[in-house]
Structure 1
Amino acid sequence: MVRATRGIHLPTPNDSNQWFNDTVPMEFTRALLVQAHAYGEDVDAMLRAARFPFDPLRQSAQTAFVSREQYSRLCVELVRALGDESGGVMPDVQTPVGTTRLILLSMLNSSNLSAAIRRAIEFNATCRVRQGVEVINRLKVDADGKEATLSYLYGEDLPGVQHSVLCNLAMWLRFCGWLIGQHIDISSATCAGPEPEFTAGVRHFFPCPVQYEQPTNSVSFSARHLEAELLRDEPQLQEFLKLAPYHVIIEPQASTFSVTHRIRKILGDDFRAEMPSFEELTSLLNMSARTLRRRLEKEGTSYQRIKDNARRDAAISLLSREGLTVSEVAERVGFSDPSAFHRSFKKWTGLSPGSYR
């Protein structure tokens, strides 16, 4: 059996704004099958078990997308075939089938998200089967109490898999966001390994600056999220798990609990027209300015940050398309001055638009 040490290389979908998409680009499905091939698994059997009507690896497959149900079923079959819920990404630290569900159950009924994450860290430290690989998992809040950092260092002598470990941290934060009904925006990230040859997977999870060759893998976000109460129960978790691969890998599940989500729906994905002012937004949401500011602060964000992130996500989607110049992308996301777009995009992602493309 061939050891897959490079992890699954995920592409960046380029069909439309990702915030409300409910299909899966075929490249993501092919990435799962490539991983199965790397471990010598029977891909045809996996496809039959996942009820796929065609083989996505064959040239004859013309469709560009699969449903979220198909993708989730195929993820489950890969996990079953490998006997490892990490999908073979960390070959020396296996996660037996069923472990993730037990960790998630252990997080329910915690007093807040901070307690839930710490409980998961404690569970994770005891349940995984390690083969002489040191794993360090921590949650810290800075001295000002404003920024939280979740870190995970997996085997310092295994640099080739660290970017996949970093992506797993992003997946965990997506689940945490579902638990509290809020979108958790990652402000920055570090990777304990070198920048991978294929960066599309990292970009998919991190539309923010990522520093490589750092002491640990980490994701930073507003500490205000840690104070949030958990809004989900066990029956809701059982429903979530049916499509969990889609929601933690492709698209986080939108939450009507979140005022951030409601504002993103109002903003849409066409930014050539002027965005609503804060006063106009309060009227659209039927909230007072004081209430809206308090709700946004509780979710660890602001109206300006939501607007910036909306334009950033649209720009990333447009830059991945063929036929659009950087100037045209700038115009579509509301920048009349291309140089201003360059400055903003570099601030958002750590890269210039040209380098990102």
Structure 2
Amino acid sequence: MPLDIPLQQPQYSKGTISIALVREALIAAENKGLDTAQILEQANISTELLQSDKARVSVSAYAQLWIILADQMNDEFFGMDQHPMRRGSYQLLSRMVMHAENIKQALQQILQFLNMVLDDIHGRLALEKDQAVLILEDRAEPKRMFSYATYLMLLHGLICWLAEQRIVIHAIHLKCEAPVDDLDYKIRFCKKIYYQAAEHRIVFDADCLAIKIKQDQSTWHQFIQDTPQNLLIRFTNPHALSSRIRKHLLQVHPADWMELSALAQRLNMSEATIQRRLKQEGVSYQQLKNDIRRDTAIELLSKSEKSLLTISDELNFQDASAFHRAFKKWTGVSPGAYRNLTTP
């Protein structure tokens, strides 16, 4: 590309969702006899993507799937409880709890509401020294991880919005068996997720309970308008090194992304320290870059008419063939095939 032509900054994606979670979301609908092929078509998700374990869909597509399922089942918990969470329940809950004094009071009200609406899961808040622990109890046998993750996403997303910051979860202990792939869960909630535990426990700092509510009626309308997409986009820990690096990467064109040695100098850290801290957060510098390029490519392929060569250039691949190889490695399908599967 000529040096006198400025690089076009790609419109970075807000993220993608594993196809495994698409399959999970459809299970109850299939059990109820709904036409899941038609539901996927309405959400602009190809049924053929279900065959590729590495495939991913845009957050906007998954959010649309969420809405369609909730509408068709009249259940915002997607048929995973004996008692449906009727459409509009979450809107009512969020409007109610924004009048709480602090996160503790809001969390207690959220649990009271969910305990009244749902039959199979009962939640309570416990304090253990400097830790707050959300304890969930099952009416019957443990459910799938997806059920608890959905419950937690509704709850955690709401209190993060109320606090206007991430409420950091330190550990999640669940009685259920581990899913085949829990990477998206670890990215959304926390790295430390343990399965086949003695009880369901979600652990975070007790100090968070004293955070004052920072939302009101004027901000509530936007929150509801953006739901569920805002719940799916992870509330990152702004103090995590990976979050700081990701924020920097999103501000510049991929051609200007630093080598690790240059980044280490900028952050006044050694390369070894950066690698160690990122490893503790379950990621690497290369993975951060790959994830941004992958998610942005998925967004551009499904929502724009840009050529594969243009997308390749925007994401700073050496050529279109390099982009083709990388995308197929990330998702299991070629970029051209992905576009054909996701474009109406």
User: TM over 0.5, yes or no?
Assistant: yes
Give the counterpart letter for 1:312 in structure 2.
E
Give the counterpart letter for 1:276 in structure 2.
L
Give the counterpart letter for 1:24 in structure 2.
T
2:85 equivalent to 1:103: no
Identify which of 100, 116, 123 aligns with 1:137.
Answer: 123
Identify which of 115, 118, 132 aligns with 1:148.
Answer: 132
2:102 equivalent to 1:112: yes
Structure 2 gap segments, 5+ residues each:
1-11, 250-257, 292-344
Q: Deviation at 1:78?
A: 0.4
Query: Within 5 Å, which residues of 2 pair with 1:1-357?
Result: 21-25=13-17, 27=19, 28-29=21-22, 31-33=24-26, 36-43=29-36, 45-47=38-40, 50=42, 52=43, 54-58=44-48, 67-88=58-79, 90-128=80-118, 130=119, 133=120, 135-143=121-129, 145=130, 147-155=131-139, 157-161=140-144, 164-166=147-149, 168-249=151-232, 251-252=233-234, 260=239, 264-265=243-244, 268=248, 272=261, 273-274=263-264, 276=267, 308=277, 312-315=281-284, 318=287
Q: Deviation at 1:69?
A: 3.8
Whole-Å Cα distance in 2 between the matches of residues 166 and 225 of structure 1?
Answer: 21
- Change in 2 beyond 3 A, CA 1:33/1:176: same
Whole-Å Cα distance in 1 between the matches of residues 25 and 285 of structure 2?
Answer: 24
Whole-Å Cα distance in 2 between the matches of residues 138 and 94 of structure 1?
Answer: 20
Q: Which string of whole-angstrom CA distances, capped at 9 and with x for unpartnered residues, describes residues 206-249 of structure 1? A: 44222323332221112222111111123422222233222223
Whole-Å Cα distance in 2 between the matches of residues 193 and 263 of structure 1?
Answer: 29
Q: Which string of whole-angstrom CA distances, capped at 9 and with x for unpartnered residues, describes residues 256-286 of structure 1? A: xx964899446746755326369xxxxxxxx
8 Å Cα contact 1:72-1:242 kept in structure 2: no
- Change in 2 beyond 3 A, CA 1:178/1:194: same
Q: Deviation at 1:183?
A: 1.4
More RCO (CA 8 Å, sep 6+) = 2
8 Å Cα contact 1:166-1:218 kept in structure 2: no
Q: Which string of whole-angstrom CA distances, capped at 9 and with x for unpartnered residues, describes residues 113-154 of structure 1? A: 1110011112222233x3xx4x431112222x3x21112222
Name the SS of the counterpart of 1:141 in structure 2: strand
Structure 1 gap segments, 5+ residues each:
1-19, 279-303, 323-357
- Change in 2 beyond 3 A, CA 1:59/1:314: closer
TM-score (norm 2): 0.62
Query: RMSD of aligned C-alpha atoms?
Result: 4.0
Name the SS of the counterpart of 2:283 in structure 1: helix
- Change in 2 beyond 3 A, CA 1:115/1:169: same
8 Å Cα contact 1:154-1:165 kept in structure 2: no
Partner of residue 343, structure 1: none
Give the counterpart letter for 2:147 in structure 1.
S
8 Å Cα contact 1:207-1:313 kept in structure 2: no
TM-score (norm 1): 0.60
How many percent identity over aligned positions?
17
